[in-house]
Amino acid sequence: DIQMTQSPSSLSASVGDRVTISCRASQSIGSYVSWFQQKPGKAPKLLIYAASSLSGVPSRFSGSGSGTDFTLTISSLQPEDFATYYCQQTHSSPYSFGQGTKVEIK
Amino acid sequence: QLQLQESGPGLVKPSQTLSLTCTVSHGSISNGVYYWTWIRQYPGKGLEWIGHIYYTGITSYHPSLKSRLTMSQDTSKNQFSLKVTSMTAADTAVYYCARGNPNSSGWGIYFDFWGQGAPVTVSS
């Protein structure tokens, strides 16, 4: 199975900050990575698929990477962006997730 | 907009079978090329893909759960279902149904619509 390792596990940031979250796959997975945002008590919400394609979310969100290293960037953090973020590989079954990164208010 | 809604018991006794149903509205599970999927989230927040049923009825299961899983669909009711046998405390989680949408490249999928989640506790 492919393992997805996210870093950091949590971070503190202020409104307006640029935030970067990393995800590393245990083997090459092309560009088959999705990123999700989850708020307490809610289902994960798709932000980005195929590493860099936005799913109807604001353009301050962007994704990059291929092979084993991937990045989610929030260019200017907004109050509604404080949440937990997960990466997921969909290159091959079982489609595994990273352990999550909690973005907290500084 | 497509909506998914899970239904089932919130409490299951150890060794019993969990049965969950996902009802899809504002879209048909038999139209298109989608993968109707189950994902669970443990209390510690880790997410695990459980498996999916393709619109053709073909299934794919997580290898670690395969011997305990059955997925099915009822196109007349626009529903798909999950059964997990021999439940233990380790299966306590929130169970989500979701739609898997194939990438336009022809490889990989992404999960674009999710239900609100059904919490399931395994306890006597």
DSSP code of A81?
A: G
Task: Output the pLDDT for position B111.
Answer: 97
Task: Output the pLDDT for position A66.
Answer: 96
Q: In whole angstroms, what is the distance from residue A57 CA to residue B114 CA?
A: 16
- At residue B69 the predicted structure's pLDDT band, cuts being 50, 70 and 90, is very high
Question: Which residues of chain A fall below pLDDT 50?
Answer: none
Interface contact flag, B46 A50, Cβ < 8 Å: no
Which SS3 state, helix, strand or coil, does residue A25 take?
Answer: strand
Give contacts of B114 with chain A, Cβ < 8 Å. Answer: 43-45
| Secondary structure, 3-state, chain B | CCEEEEECCCEECCCCCEEEEEEEECCCCCCCCCEEEEEEECCCCCEEEEEEEECCCCEEECCCCHHHEEEEEECCCCEEEEEECCCCHHHCEEEEEEEEEECCCCCCEEEEEECCCEEEEECC
Return the residue in A95, A96, A99, A101 with the most chain B beta carbons within 10 A, the one to mutate for interface testing: A95
Report the chain B residue with the minimal C-alpha distance to residue A86.
Answer: B47
Task: Output the pLDDT for position B89.
Answer: 97
| Whether A15 contacts A79, CB under 8 Å | yes
Give contacts of B48 with chain A, Cβ < 8 Å. Answer: 94, 97
Omega within 30 of 0 (cis) for the link into A44:
no
Q: Which two tokens stand for residue A91?
A: 């290159």
pLDDT, average across residues B57-77 = 96
Looking at the complex, report in whole angstroms how far the Cα of residue A48 sits from the nearest Cα belonging to chain B. 9
Q: pLDDT tens-digit profile of B111-123? A: 999 999 999 999 9
Q: pLDDT tens-digit profile of B10-65? A: 999 999 999 999 999 999 999 878 999 999 999 988 999 999 999 888 999 999 99
Count CB-CB contacts under 10 A for residue B44.
Answer: 8
Interface contact flag, B108 A45, Cβ < 8 Å: no
- At residue B103 the predicted structure's pLDDT band, cuts being 50, 70 and 90, is confident
Task: Output the pLDDT for position B12.
Answer: 98
pLDDT, average across residues B67-80 = 96
A52: left (phi over 0), alpha (psi -120 to 50) or beta: alpha
